[in-house]
Chains A and B, each alone.
Chain A
């Protein structure tokens, strides 16, 4: 087990959310969209030059900016 930011994960890698290192409002927003500690996430793709990251959580596919992806810390195998 090791800790890694979503932005640093490899494509198609799975992980469990440990914490969201951001303010309250961003945490709430993630929370309402289904990203919260304990939740399993699969990273789908990553765009070059600090571009957006796409993930799958439950049945939703979400796209988030690089900065946001850097704030989500996950636990991976």
Chain B
């Protein structure tokens, strides 16, 4: 009896969607090759048996060419015969290309069943697949499914029981394509369709001129939409909630605890002009929840909403083509834009996504650039919320400085690091329009992730800061770094504490700048430095795990160097 089922297939055929359907475990899926970079495990019930299901990163063949593919292929090789089976997921809209891996799997003797996914998308593209015939020609069970809606998954489970290995001769690569040609010719019929609007759009986005215009429009619209949704949520929902319902509650807490007491200092924080100020009080029940829920969460929702739409439609690989040339000068190729975009949400998934890049050199460059120049949503939300009230000019300034730093650092890294970076080779998926429910589910999953990961750290962090401030434990650190912070960066020495806290959480760190009464210029420098200097501790740990200690130290040295240069240049370079 089988104990383990591997889901394997080309990139972007919907393996993760099938995985979620089989196990009920939610995972992120998008419309671009390489969404899954980690192995996800779950369980399904087949009769009375509990079977382990393993979602593998996508691969085009059993000869891996990136870290993510290598992981998939190795795990499959190590699997025990007799105990494991393979569900090969195939994109029905691209049968021919998918069958290459299928034949390799059959030749290797893996017990196999085929899940012919995206069957709902074939008819209107003029593709007709005779899956009975396909089953006959391949000699393995073929089950048509549409995993996004769940169609066919039940049959997939039923046929899983009768799975068994085949004995096949090994073919040469050319021989394999020849056989695929024969199979496809008899099992698939194509009818000619006129170019639909969708196909015209697919085409326009990969042509240089039209593609450039569309990308500018898309990026601009995305940015506007994030701001519109984020600000809308703050002013219509979160702020009213905090001021009308939450404030009276904490005011009662404040009067019970008596201002001035240790507990009041910890829980409510300082009263500003005799009142609780959500932005400045710095208490576990005041500023901590306000920062997370009323300043950051709305932008988390807005950002992931827009990103999820772009991901699921399949626009991101097109952006990769347009940026390939620029990224080439930084020692990367176009696909690196996807880890970078994910990094704008949170650096951690961004750095994990660099696994789809082929070489260690590229991974190091991409990781360093993300941690130096890509501010996460919490940091950006705080910059918008606070620096934005000074002037929009400075907000733009932060992005301009970060962009320049990324370009300069990238060019330098590309010049000084030995080796070379491979070129872009990327499949461009057709546009797809997933059901709203799928989109909502993914958004909800990401928001839940944020709340569970960020909120405990923020509450604990603020408690810790208050304790340390109460017992004057920061004086020591402040003393050490004051010359640099004051002399080079022109910031008051209390800003040291905020910069140190940045290691814990960027949003809290920006929050700590508020009571210091900084000028717009000082705020601008401090916010920029928070972005460039050390990433938060979670990102640190991920870099360590992904690249090793040596590379982490190298990246850290680069970050410190960049911070010193940028802080000094901004301080002495900007007048007034």
**Given the complex, which residues of A lie within 8 Å of B94, measured CB to CB?**
58-60
Question: Separation in Å of the A5 CB from the closest CB of chain B?
Answer: 14
In the assembled complex, B96 has its CB within 8 A of some CB on chain A: yes
Verify A28–B173 contact, CB threshold 8 A.
Answer: yes
Asked if B130 is at the interface of the complex by the 8 Å CB criterion, the answer is no
Contact A51 B97 (CB under 8 A): no
What's the least CB distance linking A6 to chain B, in Å? Answer: 12
Against A, the Cβ 8 Å flags (1 = close, 0 = not) of B333-349 are 11000000000000000
Classify the interface of chain A: helix, strand, loop or mixed. mixed
User: Shortest beta-carbon distance, B58 to chain A, in Å?
Assistant: 12
A64 touching B208 in the complex, CB below 8 Å, given contacts A32-B60, A47-B324: no
| A10-67 CB contacts (< 8 Å) to partner B | 25, 28-34, 36-39, 44-52, 54, 58-67
Instruction: Decide yes or no whether B115 CB sits under 8 A from chain A.
Output: no
| Residue A68 is within 8 A (CB to CB) of chain B in the complex | yes
Within the complex, which residue of A29, A37, A63, A65 is in contact with B60, where a contact is CB–CB below 8 Å?
A29
Q: Interface readout for B397-433 with A: 1 if CB under 8 Å, 0 if not?
A: 0000000000000000000000000011111101000
Residue of A nearest to B177 (CB): A36
Q: Is B158 part of the binding interface, using a Cβ–Cβ cutoff of 8 Å?
A: no
A62 to chain B, nearest CB (A): 6
B324:A31 contact, CB within 8 angstroms: no
Q: Total A-B pairs in contact (CB under 8 Å)? A: 108
Interface size counted on chain B using CB atoms at 8 A: 36
Instruction: Tell me whether A48 and B174 are in contact in the complex, defined as CB-CB below 8 angstroms, given that A54-B428, A63-B426, A68-B425 are known contacts.
Output: no
Contact (Cβ within 8 A) B100 A34? yes
Q: How far is the CA of A39 from the CA of B206 in the complex (A)?
A: 22
For residue A35, which residue of chain B has the nearest CB?
B425
Which chain A positions have C-beta within 8 A of B173? Answer: 28, 31, 36
CB of A64, distance to nearest CB on chain B (Å): 5
Contact B97–A63 (Cβ < 8 Å)? no
**Do B206 and A59 touch (CB < 8 A)?**
no
A61 close to B208 (CB less than 8 A): no
Query: Contacts A32-B60, A47-B321, A59-B96 hold; do A65 and B208 have CB atoms under 8 A apart?
Result: no
Q: Mark B175-190, 1 if CB is under 8 A from A, else 0.
A: 0010000000000000
A-B contact list, 19 entries, CB within 8 Å: A29-B61, A29-B63, A32-B63, A34-B97, A34-B100, A36-B173, A36-B177, A44-B203, A48-B208, A51-B208, A52-B325, A54-B206, A59-B97, A61-B206, A61-B427, A63-B324, A63-B424, A65-B425, A68-B425
Chain A residues at the B interface, C-beta cutoff of 8 Å: 25, 28-34, 36-39, 44-52, 54, 58-68
Interface residues of B (CB under 8 A from A): 60-61, 63, 65, 93-97, 100-101, 173-174, 177, 202-203, 206-208, 211, 317, 320-322, 324-325, 328, 333-334, 423-428, 430
Kindly list 11 other residue pairs between chains A and B, CB separation below 8 angstroms, not including A61-B202, A64-B426. A28-B63, A29-B425, A31-B100, A31-B177, A32-B60, A32-B63, A49-B325, A52-B325, A63-B426, A64-B423, A65-B424
